[in-house]
Amino acid sequence: MAKRVETPNRFRAARGDATVKSIEKSIEKDYGLPPGSVQINKAGGKNVRSDAKIETVRKEHKKK
């Protein structure tokens, strides 16, 4: 039997140009969570704006 080479989509890293809102929605969909249950936070713990890019969030987390 052939072994799976690819990792499932939900385990792949998010694209840097994706918005926070789209990633939160995809996490909810992949794991079967209710809408609004996923929240991406800044390094300080506050909620990130939904129109922010994932690349911006990553840069902020690397600074701390």
Q: Is the pLDDT of residue 6 over 70?
A: no
Residue 64 to residues 14, 30, 48, 51, 52: CA-CA distances in angstroms? 20, 29, 16, 22, 18
Q: What is the pLDDT of residue 8?
A: 63
Which pLDDT score is estimated for 43?
87
Unique residue bearing structure tokens 């909620």: 47
Q: Are 41 and 57 in contact (CB under 8 A)?
A: no
Domain coordinates in residue numbering, the chain = 16-63
Q: Is 26 exposed, middle or buried (0-12, 13-18, 19+ CB in 10 A)?
A: middle
- In terms of pLDDT, which residue wins out, 5 or 49? 49
pTM equals: 0.75
pLDDT tens profile 10-55: 566 788 899 999 999 999 998 899 999 999 999 889 999 999 999 9
DSSP 18: S
